[in-house]
Structure 1
Amino acid sequence: MDELVTKGSGKGPLVLAAHPDWRGSRANRRLLEAARAVPDAQVQDLYSLYPDFDIDVAAQQRLAQAASLIVLLHPIQWYSMPPLQKLWLDEVLAYGWAYGPGGDALQGKDLWLVTTTGGPESAYHPQGYNRYFFDAFLPPYEQTAALCGMRFLPPLVLHGARRASEEALAAHVQVFVERLRSYPDWPEIDELPPCPVCEVPTTDRPSHD
């Protein structure tokens, strides 16, 4: 569906923006607006595109396969992603397409998490109320990338987004834009290990659960 492509030729970063309430968003809304101004970025506002949660899987797969960088842009909700973003993973990253035998559509690409938290960074500490450092909540993202043969890039996180100063928020948005524009020319990318290989035996995916 051509109307899903909001900007660019299909070869730039694919930004999957997911927020259940953009009107109530302070930081993520600014990040979404900034992404839309980046040349060649494919920006998908999932909650606007699919308010009924009926994802056009074929269209989203075409966009994902055309991009070399897939960006997950969303707030952290209950230590994870908003439900429509999770549904996108469930339906778009299909067995035999994104992983498993014949599932090589995303191999060699990069996955980047750009997110915000309600609590301050100090809350993500063994002595804080979240009990763990923020990195402890990243393995599902990292393994999703690995299963699809993608590299998981260092996340861009704004803690305490609602209380962040205007200066801190503006600086965060600027870093996001500069990263989108300069990808893949990030100094740390050369130091990252190559995309992992996670082979899924056919015996682990029976036809019925």
Structure 2
Amino acid sequence: MTTRVLLNLVHPIFEKSWANQAMLEAVKDLKYVKVNDLYEEYPDYFIDIQREQKLLLDHALIVFQHPFYWYSSPSLLKEWQDLVLAEGFAYGEGGYQLAGRRWLSAITAGAAEDSYTPHGFNNFSADELLRPFEQTADFCGMEFVKPFVLYEAETLSHSRIEKEAERYRDYIQGLATSLGLLEQSEEEAS
């Protein structure tokens, strides 16, 4: 098993998302985090499957940071899943190469948290709406960890977003610590 965190950033208009920018800023300096900006890498949607599969194999915690578009993700992440999580690699005969790795969905949502309830505007919790990602992780033998959700991404003040970004950093650090990634990264450095 590897000792690092792969952060797959998936935002088609990242330059317009203060929330996603703040989240990335909060974690990109962590020595054990590798940022993989999918829209920067693949603006034409021609995904290098072997590169992406190698990145997955080289990391213990896989983070998918993206806006919560139509209760899902930007289209490039769906294309990425269709191609990279292939039979013989992520599942099926000769597959399950990702078994034991962790999957973290880190999303930004425009609405308030209380709108993600049975009686709220969105009718379901964010956890319920993320079930397809949870099932994908499970199908690949990965552990789906509790998602990170930054609510009201479009309306929070910059100072509140920065506090949320620090909460994100703390969450990533906590997961890395619980997985022993910090100690292993220090051993690799020495």
By the TM > 0.5 criterion, same fold? Answer: yes
Could you tell me which residue of structure 1 aligns to residue 109 of structure 2? Answer: 117
The reply to whether residue 94 of structure 1 matches residue 86 of structure 2 is: yes
Which runs of 5 or more residues in structure 1 are unaligned? 1-9, 188-209
Deviation at 1:35, TM superposition (A): 2.9
Q: Which residue of 2 aligns with 1:3?
A: none
Residue matched to 1:166: 158
Percent identity among equivalent residues? 38
Select the residue among 13, 17, 22 that pairs with 2:9.
17
Distance 2:125 2:54 in 1: 36
CA RMSD of aligned residues (A): 1.7
Count residues in correspondence. 178
Give 1:176 deviation, angstroms: 1.8
Larger RCO (CA within 8 A; separation ≥ 6): 2
- C-alpha distance in structure 1 between counterparts of 2:168 and 2:141, whole Å: 24
**Distance (Å, rounded) in 2 between the aligned partners of 1:32 and 1:45:** 10
Does the CA-based 8 Å contact 1:38-1:180 persist in structure 2?
A: no
Q: Does residue 1:32 correspond to 2:15, yes or no? A: no
**Among residues 46, 58, 72, which one is paired with 2:50 in the alignment?**
58
- TM-score with structure 2 length normalisation? 0.87
Compute the TM-score of the two structures, normalised by the length of structure 1.
Answer: 0.80
**Alpha-carbon separation, structure 2, partners of 1:173 and 1:184:** 16
Alpha-carbon distance in 2 for matches of 1:56, 1:100: 21
Bigger mean CA offset, 153-162 vs 125-134: 125-134
Pick aligned residue for 1:106 from 77, 98, 109? 98
Map Cα deviations across residues 14-43 of structure 1 (whole Å, 9 max, x no partner): 100000101211101121233321112111
Cα separation, 2, equivalents of 1:82 and 1:62? 22
More helix by share: 2
State the 4+ residue runs in structure 1 displaced beyond 6 angstroms: none
2:71 is the alignment partner of 1:68 = no
Q: Name the stretch that deviates more: 169-178 or 68-77.
A: 169-178
Equivalent residue letter for 1:61: Q
Between the aligned partners of 2:178 and 2:142, the Cα distance in structure 1 is 16
Cα deviation digits, residues 150-192 of structure 1 (max 9, x gap): 11000110111111233331222112223333433349xxxxx
Query: Gaps (5+ residues) in structure 2?
Result: 180-190
Query: Does the aligned pair in 2 maintain the 1:35–1:43 contact within 8 Å?
Result: no
Moved more, 175-184 or 59-68: 175-184
Question: Which amino acid letter does the alignment assign opposite residue 136 of structure 1?
Answer: E
Higher Rg: 1
The answer as to 2:23 corresponding to 1:45 is no
